[in-house]
Structure 1
Amino acid sequence: MVPREPGTAAMREVAVAAAEAAGSLLWSGRRDHAPEVRGKGLDGDVVTDLDEAAERVIIKRIRAAYPDHTIVAEETGVHEAGGSRWTWLVDPLDGTNNIAIGLPVYVVGIALCRDGLPLVGVVHDPERGQTWSAIRDVGAEGPGGARAVPAAPRVSAAPLLAWTQGHEVSRGDPRARALKLALEARSRRLLQLWAPLVSWLMLARGDIDGFVGYRAEAVDLPAGMLIAQEAGLAVRDLRGHPFDARIGRPAEDRSFVAARPELLDRILDWVQAGHELERELSAAWPPGE
């Protein structure tokens, strides 16, 4: 197949080159010195000097290739460019909290959207030296250029799942707690990696069976989700409806269930059980009591 949008293949190459250049900086920087860690916001999130350096590398490369495109970057926000219909989303280091504690679980994520709809997604893993990418309606590619496909169904009766939630979701959020309880009780394991793009890659590779997100972060969601969808995974909202992937939607519309098609209904049933558990807990312990 060939890209349906003229120039899309070239745009993917720019994104791949930018992600890999940033990944090289992160890989060498993590070994050269202990990262400088600072608090970011009021929710306990952090940022390091490596995030900022990698972001500068990516923005410079995108701006050189497409000076009229808008860029939305994790650390420096919106870089406007004349109301362009093209928007790049840049997460220079997804997994900053892991880096801060010396855990080498992180990736670089870049997505390109046209009129708000993700068209290109790239995720680079510096530790593995692997890059995954996708173009909407064309397919996903993994390391070595091989087209990515979901793994065969696992023998285990209990699927292995991953979980993510947005930074602004509090520890006591009743829906998040109920959903996690329901999923943990029914799955073989519920992974919480502090790096959602890593979970998307694991899903696309077949390392895990499903991925559930609650009020997911806006910048890193499109790249990973597009790769998973183009690799043949199904993605729905928490009610089981087709997921609206357009950017700019509020946090409550960025909750999702992703899985191989044959497992999707089963995991959605578990999500529904989480909603029922939330109502039961609310009835037993009303707010303020």
Structure 2
Amino acid sequence: MDLERARDLAVEAARAAGRLLSAGTADAFGVHAKGAAGDVVTDLDLASEKVLVERILTAYPSHAVIAEESGLLGAAGAEWTWLVDPLDGTNNVAIGLPAYVVGLALCHAGRPVLGVVHDPVTRQTWSAIRGHGALSPSGVRLAPPSRPLPHGPLLAWTQGYTVTRDDATVLGLKAALELHARRVLQLWAPLLSWVMLARGDIDGMVGYRPEAVDLPAGALIAQEAGMEIRALDGSPFDENVNATAADRSFVAAHPDTLPTLLPLLTPATPEPDPDHPHPGKPPTGNPHEETPTRGNPGS
């Protein structure tokens, strides 16, 4: 597999989708209810996804695609799988807030090896290939240094769409972060938060049961820029995209900053019990368990 060729295709596809989104947000577009919890999908999500999927499957007909709105497409059980987030920040777009991106990730046997995030507003694109670093829009390698935190860290927060407002772990985590952080951003566009971390704009990012499509592209870019990702208890993070939602919870930061963040998170994570074997994960059969193709609120 020529990953440089795949990156070129992904970058061009993301830019094409970005042009569509940029033009579409300048005019009226349809916004439709999705699900029973207040989520929305726009005509722009669907049009962008169509562009991305068609370009990927035309170039790689033997690959599988998991698209946010369409689910599994292409070759089921394929060795190579693309994750497509056609409009990360849908709720932002719906209210006229220009904070949204396009995300693509290529996974080999469930492990992300290529990530691309494109911002249609600024027309900038970030990308990474595993083991080869992360590139800025100008082609410069991303490698921000750690910085002192005299007033606490500047963090971004993301959570899965099906996480309820009264989730005890979320309430504990947010309370701890708000108490000790300088700011906690909730952008409704997690891939944009990942790029901000990779650039060094923010000091860390915390995610609680994030959706599969919101994670790999941005996380790989951040990792290849030198950031480290851990589970909330400090243990190794499971990068496999087939991991359960509970196992996808994470904290990410520069390796020098991570020891400062981890103590803020561990006390807020309740001890497992027989009904909740994983912190914050509902028992098997809970009707609120996430679906694999739905994004973070606003994604």
TM-score (norm: length of structure 2): 0.88
Q: Secondary structure at the match of 1:157?
A: coil
CA 1:173 to 1:21, structure 2 compared with 1: closer, same or farther past 3 Å?
same
What is the letter of the counterpart of residue 162 of structure 2? Answer: E
How much has 1:149 moved relative to structure 2? Answer: 1.1
- 1:97 deviates by 0.6
Q: Is the 8 A contact 1:89 1:220 kept in 2?
A: no
Structure 2 counterpart of 1:164, one-letter code: T
Q: Deviations over 1:238-289 (max 9, x none)?
A: 111121111111111110000011110111100013226999xxxxxxxxxx
Whether the 8 Å CA contact 2:61–2:74 is kept in 1: the answer is no
Greater than 3 Å deviation, 4+ residue runs? 154-157, 276-279
Partner of 1:223: 217
Determine the structure 2 residue equivalent to 1:71.
65
CA distance in 2, matches of 1:236, 1:43: 30
Q: Name the structure where helix makes up a greater proportion of residues.
A: 1
Aligned to 1:112: 106
Q: Secondary structure at 1:88's aligned position in 2?
A: strand
Where does residue 238 of structure 1 map in the other structure? 232
Q: In structure 1, the residue corresponding to 2:33 is in which secondary structure?
A: strand
User: What's the secondary structure of 2:91's corresponding residue?
Assistant: helix
Contact 2:146 2:257 in 1 (8 A): no
1:207 deviates by 0.7
Question: After superposition, where does 1:273-288 map in structure 2 within 5 Å?
Answer: 273-275=267-269
User: Which residue is 2:282 aligned to?
Assistant: none
Give the one of 188, 199, 204 matched to 1:194.
188
1:101 to 76, 91, 95: 95
1:22 corresponds in structure 2 to 17
CA displacement 1:121-147 (0-9 Å, x = unmatched): 000001111100000111100111111
| Whole-angstrom distance in 2 between the partners of 1:251 and 1:87 | 19
Structure 2: give runs of 5+ residues left out of the alignment.
274-299
Counterpart check, 1:125 vs 2:113: no
Secondary structure of 2:138 counterpart: helix
Question: Are 2:146 and 2:256, in contact at CA under 8 Å, matched by a contact in 1?
Answer: no
After the TM superposition, which residues 129-278 of structure 1 pair with which residues of structure 2 at under 5 Å, given as runs?
129-154=123-148, 156-275=150-269
Identity of aligned residues (%): 57
1:143 partner SS: coil
Q: Distance in 2 between matches of 1:74 and 1:276?
A: 31
CA distance in 1, matches of 2:170, 2:36: 19
User: In 2, distance between residues paired with 1:244 and 1:98?
Assistant: 29
Separation in structure 1 between the aligned mates of residue 266 and residue 176 of structure 2, nearest angstrom: 9
Query: Which has the higher mean CA deviation after the structures are superposed, 142-151 or 196-205?
Result: 142-151
Q: Is the contact made by 2:57 and 2:74 (CA closer than 8 Å) also made in structure 1?
A: no
Match in the other structure for 1:12:
7
Between the aligned partners of 1:278 and 1:35, the Cα distance in structure 2 is 45
- Gaps (5+ residues) in structure 1? 1-5, 280-289
Cα deviation, 1:202-243, whole Å, max 9, x if unaligned, reads 101111000000000111200000000000001001111121
Pairwise CA RMSD: 1.6
> Structure 2 vs 1, CA of residues 276 and 248 (structure 1 numbering), >3 Å: closer, same or farther?
closer
With CA pairs under 8 Å and 6+ residues apart, which has the higher RCO, 1 or 2?
2
CA contact (8 A) 1:74 1:90 kept: yes
SS in 2 for 1:262: coil
